[in-house]
Amino acid sequence: MLRDLVALSAVPTAWVGRAPAAVAAGLADALIDLMWLDFVFVRLCVPGSPDGVDITRGTAWKKFPEWLDSHLDESGRLSAMTIVPDVDAAGEPCRGVVMPIGVDTEGGVVAAAAAQRTEFPTEIDILLLRLAANHAATAFQSARLVDDRRRAEEEVRKARNDLEVKVAERTAELRRIEAYLAEAQRLTHTGTAAFDVATGQFTHSSDEHSRLYGFDPERGVPSLEEFRQRIHPDDRAKFDAAHERGIREARSIDLEIRILPPQGALRYLHVISHPLLTTAGDVQEFLGTVVDVTERKHAEEEHWAQLWFLESMDRVDRAIQGASDLEQMMADVLDVALEAFACDRAWLIYPCDPDAASHEVLMERTRPEYPGAFALGVEIPNDAAIVEAFRITLASSGPVRFDPESDCMPPAQSAARFNVKSMMCLAVYPKVDRPYSFGLHQCSYARVWTPQEERLFHEIGRRLADGLDTLSMFRNLRESERNLERSRAELAASRARIVTAADETRRQIERDLHDGVQQRLVSLALVQRSAEAMVPDELPELRAQLSRVVDGLTGALDELREISRGIHPAILAHGGLGAALKTLARRSAVPVELEVNTETRPPEPVETAVYYVVSEALTNTAKHAQATEVHVVVEARDGVLEVSIRDDGCGGADPHRGSGLIGLTDRIDALGGTIEVVSPVGQGTTLLITLPIEAGQGAP
């Protein structure tokens, strides 16, 4: 027993630093070896912890797990030590004991069994088991504590390592983000800054923020005054007012300012700054963003310049197109130029000739307070300065500036006389005339003309030259048209006189034939009839000869009457147009279908014209058309007499050939009417005539 006690007392020292599972295994091995046992079960656990360690040595108690489960209460505890007389060791006697460790089995369970030992367990066995179990429980708890601490330290170390890695990763990520942000700000020309209200200085200025103001980011954060000195002088007051109002009223700042860097061009910056307030509501800090909007401003300026150019050119085009004469066109264009350029005087000089002794201001538009030479109405002598200005203007392919930034100044005498501080002029070259000089005066200040203004001025000069050409040609064309109207009127009057004279001649011939030749033939026929009656019967040959003479005279008289009716039909005067056309229809060699719809008789010239048109058409149809029928319609409506003559002949008639139709055209034209010939090959011929009925009123 003493030996076993000494051995068991030395075991805890061997367990120092061992893992919890090793403590339980060491206890089981020690009990097997020291107490000559055939079965040992060790369960060690820490109170309050669900984790424990189970170790089994030997196979003498095969049904121990079932026995243990059946003897543990619902909470997994063993109420007291239990001695088992027979552990069912395959027919061999084997006694066992199960002993709880700690109060209510909170430290675990130790079970042991020995074969061939009928006295097992003795008091010494129980003492040794309890002593060993308590040592093991204590060592197990210590090992668990050490193990938990080691695990905790390992977890802390791992957490610290993980944290350091994460901090390094986040630091690297933050640096990448800062680099990306710096690059993004550089690419977008956007900067950020922080301003401390208490100190009145900037506490932060991003690299791009400093660069936008023309500072080197490597030299630290500039002061407020240094930033302020980079602002355009005309914008500093606006910046100061917005800054003070933002601090005073705790409101955001939003404005655009111009920056003048030591090197580089003027910049436009859009400043947006928001206040951060203390708990008392006072402004503690301003966080701001600055965006370079120079390109946008230039684009806007270019847009407005282009819009101004297009609108001005549209007004110039409308002024030129809407003008009816040269004076109006020049005046309207100069009005547009005066307003578009917001200048004091716009003018047009003729001629722009250095060799001429003088020039004249053809047209001028001015502000009321700056009257010019046009109001004088006199020619202005060309002095040496004016001649030189003309030479410079003619030698240039575009506008010439006479302002403080150019190599030219306005002619001294004219400038003094008309208060000219700045001038721009352009030579205008119409194709039909000598050069003009188109110009602008600024009298209120020494203006410097911009490239956009030069471009618009040049285009207006080109349109002005085109307008001068167009209106000059239009004026010449109108003069030619007036001459052609006069010629046409004279031709129409001549035609009317010819038609009238022809009608009078026809009437005179008809009267002469009726009163002269016809009467003589009638008288001669009567004399021959009397002579025939006086011839004796014994002279039959003489009687027959006289009879033939009388028949010849009668035939000649009939032919003469027919000719007389063709020259001027008497039936037209007595029976009217309808009766005359019916007579023509009866005499026509081609059948005629006639329709005459007139409520009252048209004037005599109209009736005569229609009669001769129908007569000539029927004659041509009979000679050339190979027609079987002619349809003639005469209808009066709405003050117009319409005549339609259609045949079903071969067509293909040429309206420009044949003296008869040409003569009829003159007659129709003389009365203000129209005549149209439609004659497709194989589809007959149609004549359409319109005559104003009132055209014949009062006609000679």
Residue 453 resides in a domain: yes
451 and 338, same structural domain? yes
The residue out of 545, 568, 591 marking a domain boundary is 568
Residue 263 resides in a domain: yes
207 and 141, same structural domain? no
468 and 423, same structural domain? yes
Looking at residue 326, its pLDDT comes to 84
Residue 416 resides in a domain: yes
Residue 299 resides in a domain: no
575 and 520, same structural domain? no
Looking at residue 699, its pLDDT comes to 39
The strand pair at 686-692 and 640-647 is best described as antiparallel
pLDDT range class, residue 193, cuts 50, 70, 90: very high
SS (H, E, C) 65-132: HHHHHHHCCCCCCCCCCEEECCCCECCECEEEEEEEECHHHCCEEEEEEEECCCCCCCHHHHHHHHHH
pLDDT range class, residue 80, cuts 50, 70, 90: confident
Rounded-to-integer distance, Cα 569 and Cα 614, Å:
13
The residue out of 524, 545, 568 marking a domain boundary is 568
pLDDT range class, residue 91, cuts 50, 70, 90: low
Is the Cβ–Cβ distance between 437 and 290 less than 8 Å?
Answer: no
* Domain region containing 340: 310-568
pLDDT at 698 > cutoff 50: no
At residue 629, φ and ψ (nearest 5 deg) are: -160, 150
| Average pLDDT of the residues in 98-119 | 81
Coil, strand or helix at 174: helix
Residues 356-392: pLDDT tens digits?
999 999 999 999 999 999 988 888 999 999 999 999 9
Here the tokens at position 574 are 């007595």
| Average pLDDT of the residues in 341-346 | 96
564 and 631, same structural domain? no
- Give the angle 78-81-83 at the CA atoms, nearest 5°: 120
Residues 632-679: pLDDT tens digits?
999 998 889 999 999 999 988 876 665 456 667 777 887 888 989 998
Residues 453-497: pLDDT tens digits?
999 999 999 999 888 887 666 666 666 777 768 765 666 566 556
Greater model confidence, 490 or 421: 421
Residue 173 resides in a domain: no
CATH number at residue 450: 3.30.450.40
Residues 123-139: pLDDT tens digits?
888 888 888 888 777 77
Q: Closest Cα to residue 399, out of 360, 437, 435?
A: 437
372 and 245, same structural domain? no
Rounded-to-integer distance, Cα 189 and Cα 206, Å:
11
Residue 439 resides in a domain: yes
Residue 451 resides in a domain: yes
Count of domains forming the chain? 4
Which DSSP symbol is given to 464? H
Residues 578-607: pLDDT tens digits?
888 998 889 888 999 999 998 888 888 888
462 and 560, same structural domain? yes
422 and 387, same structural domain? yes
The strand pair at 436-442 and 345-350 is best described as antiparallel
Residue 361 resides in a domain: yes
pLDDT at 413 > cutoff 80: yes
Greater model confidence, 147 or 222: 222
388 and 240, same structural domain? no
The residue out of 568, 600, 621 marking a domain boundary is 568
Neighbour tally for 46: CB within 10 Å: 20
Cα-based distances in Å from 404 to 410, 446, 455, 654: 10, 7, 19, 76
CATH number at residue 233: 3.30.450.20
- Give me the chain's average pLDDT, please: 83
545 and 397, same structural domain? yes
| Average pLDDT of the residues in 69-89 | 78
319 and 249, same structural domain? no
The strand pair at 39-45 and 108-115 is best described as antiparallel
582 and 561, same structural domain? no
Looking at residue 108, its pLDDT comes to 83
Rounded-to-integer distance, Cα 459 and Cα 315, Å:
12
